[in-house]
Amino acid sequence: MSELLFYKVTLGINHELQEILLAQLSMPEFLGAEQQEDTIVLWFSSNIAVSVLEEWLTSWLHTIGHDRAQLSVERIPAENWLALWRSSLEPISIANRIRIVPFADAALQQTGAADEAVSSMDSNSGVHTIIIEPKMAFGTGHHATTRMCVELMLDVVRAGSHWLDIGTGSGILAIVAAKLGAAHVTALDNDPDATANASENLACNGCSNVVTLRYADALTIDHPPVDGIVANLHHTLLVQLSKLFATVLRAGGWLIVSGILIEQVEDVETAFIESGFRLDCTLTQGEWAALRMYRQ
């Protein structure tokens, strides 16, 4: 049996171009990124995906008149990958209300006391603490799009409300909705690695009884009306989903979307306005944007 490998791609490229690059990496083999000022580290599960990246990168940089980037590829055995990925992440705080810890404490896992520990941290500090185990799914809270979605959710997730998380990845946004008081959340993803990771994170955070996880295609969802939808997806898919979201969201309900570059905001906003939404506010961070809208 061949050894399972992951691929660490280190690329010398400025921060502005990093954001544009990340917006193009929708392939399922792309596992995550670590951004620095003039360097980005990309993780892949397939050497073929790395080859596709190299070919596309050469063409793209030539098109924009940029010198070829310095790129190195390192093969990482599967048993070492998760440890390296975990070690690169630090706990983060969002608006002093959400604290995301991107690894589960080994002692808590062994004793099965994670639910009690998280509840204790929440009640003692007034801050919702969320443990996210980073595996092969997007969403540790470190990317700007995830952070902005969380920030936009803080003021609109009402106690007893029903939410839909499209493209749940690690499950982080569904967990945030549950922590903020939603009575029920449906979390969808069409990636089996994501749903497996999300299931673990839901259990670790004591949210399995509030969040229903579904392996499904967002373009074909059939779902009862909800009070809120959060979707951190590629802008093209968001535009495709605009009319479908309007049929699922109750009048007056909230929609939060991200995965959008700043220059793509107008197209996304126009599609949703034409589908019956009104813009409430826009957040930006670096090259990324997030929109909060409500259905009229």
Task: Give the integer Cα–Cα distance in Å for 268 and 56.
Answer: 25
Residue 245 dihedral angles phi and psi, to the nearest 5° = -60, -35
Band of the pLDDT at 177, cuts 50, 70, 90? very high
Q: Which two tokens stand for residue 249?
A: 């969201």
For residues 227-239, average pLDDT = 92
For residues 101-111, average pLDDT = 51
Distance in Å from the first CA to the final CA of the chain: 57
For residues 139-163, average pLDDT = 89
| pLDDT tens by residue, 240-251 | 999 999 999 999
Q: Which two tokens stand for residue 21?
A: 């690059």
pLDDT exceeds cutoff 50 at 109: no
Give Cα separations from 285 to 79, 91, 151, 168 (angstroms).
34, 19, 12, 21
For residues 183-191, average pLDDT = 93
Task: Give the integer Cα–Cα distance in Å for 167 and 169.
Answer: 6
CB 78 within 8 A of CB 4: yes
Model pTM? 0.73
Q: Tally Cβ neighbours within 10 Å of residue 61.
A: 16
pLDDT exceeds cutoff 60 at 45: yes
Task: Give the integer Cα–Cα distance in Å for 99 and 179.
Answer: 11
Helices assigned H by DSSP within 162-208: 172-179, 192-204
Weakest-pLDDT range from 55-64, 143-152, 245-254, 266-275: 55-64
What average pLDDT does the structure give for the chain?
82
- Domains present along the chain, CATH in parentheses: 5-87 (3.30.70), 143-295 (3.40.50.150)
Q: Which of 225, 198, 230, 193 is nearest to 213 (CA)?
A: 198
pLDDT exceeds cutoff 50 at 104: no
Residue 175's Cβ-side half-sphere holds a number of Cα atoms within 13 Å equal to 32
pLDDT exceeds cutoff 80 at 282: yes
Band of the pLDDT at 79, cuts 50, 70, 90? low
CB 87 within 8 A of CB 102: no
Q: Which of 59, 69, 85 is nearest to 18 (CA)?
A: 69
Give Cα separations from 134 to 44, 75, 259 (angstroms).
14, 19, 19
Please, what is the angle between helix 265-274 and helix 235-248, to 10°? 20
Which tops the pLDDT comparison, 33 or 124?
A: 33
**pLDDT at residue number 55:** 83
